[in-house]
Amino acid sequence: MTSHENSNIDDPDLELIKARKMKALKDQFASKEKEKRAREQNELHQKNWTR
């Protein structure tokens, strides 16, 4: 078995790892966006109350 054939066997695992990393990054990004929106809503709410 050549090293080229061997690398083809590992590809599905690499794809899985990449997919998991991408999902984790997307989830992390989504939660940061959610926090940011919540913070902005709170700031707007406070501005409306202080008028």
Give the per-residue SS3 of 30-48: HHHHHHHHHHHHHHHHHHH
pLDDT tens, per residue, the chain with 51 residues: 455 555 555 688 999 999 999 999 999 999 999 999 999 999 998 888 776
pTM above 0.75, yes or no: no
Which structure tokens are listed for 16? 């899985």
For residue 20, the number of C-alpha atoms closer than 13 Å in the C-beta half-sphere is 6
Domain boundaries in the chain? 1-51
One-letter amino acid of 50: T
